[in-house]
Amino acid sequence: MHFISNSIVIRQATVSVNGAPYFKGQPSEFKDFAKELYQHLGITYPKFYKMDNLCKLAFLASEIVLKDQDGEDIALIFSSKEGSLDTDIQHQGHIQDENSFYPSPATFVYTLPNICIGEVSIRHQLKTESMFLLAEAYQTAYIQAYSDFLIESGKAKKVLCGWLRMLKDDYVAQFYLVEKQGNIAHQINNIEQILNK
């Protein structure tokens, strides 16, 4: 039996941790809220400002969940319906702009959704298993079974699971950490409670 030791939900300028209010920002565009939360967390990581919105969302959620973790053997399983579509649209706009054609390499690099896993891995020095799934909805049973397998097989001591949505300032991050100790059983009904908040 494994457990959910920590969870976070970021949505509409609010952050809750383990179901309790954690931070409430000013109603604004995501980029302004992300900067406000970043400053609230007291993080010093200049690369944050170069990231696209999907990476910033995953980065901020991971920062809070992994705050007191040593970073050793933590696998990452992220999932999304839209993937990098938010950045893909921006990049395509630059390509189609006849008056100012300049498809920026800085934007292009974020047209792969799994880049957010790379950003979190670099920040926390994670060198374990990782996977980014594109799916219409969170694949609860599959991700639960895969997380359990990673821990039972010794491929990871903990697994950070996350559902991300980022499209035109409609955003949500629902992350939870699975490990051998905790208060909430790692079961489908408990995962769905986190995802439905």
* 52-72 average pLDDT score: 92
- For the ranges 107-121, 123-137, 168-182, the lowest mean pLDDT is seen at 107-121
Exposure string over 176-192, b if 16+ CB within 10 A, otherwise e: bbbbeebebebeeebbe
Q: Is the pLDDT of residue 103 over 80?
A: no
Contacts of 72 (CB under 8 A, 6+ apart): 157
d(CA 121, CA 150): 17
Output the CA–CA distances (angstroms, integers) from residue 93 to 29, 87, 109, in the order listed.
20, 10, 15
* 149-154 average pLDDT score: 96
Q: Give me the residue spans of the domains in the chain.
A: 3-196
CB 16 within 8 A of CB 197: yes
Q: Count Cβ atoms within 10 A of the Cβ of residue 171 and give its class: 0-12 exposed, 13-18 middle, 19 or more buried.
A: buried
* 106-123 average pLDDT score: 87
d(CA 111, CA 131): 16
Instruction: Say which CATH topology domain 3-196 has.
Output: Peroxisomal Thiolase; Chain A, domain 1 (3.40.47)
Share of residues in the chain with pLDDT > 70 (%): 100
In angstroms, how far is the first alpha carbon of the chain from the final one?
Answer: 24
pLDDT reported for residue 155: 95
CB 172 within 8 A of CB 11: yes
User: CA nearest 137: which of 55, 192, 84, 58?
Assistant: 192
pLDDT reported for residue 109: 80
From the CB of residue 72, how many other CB atoms can be counted at a distance below 10 Å? 13
pLDDT reported for residue 178: 97
Share of residues in the chain with pLDDT > 90 (%): 73
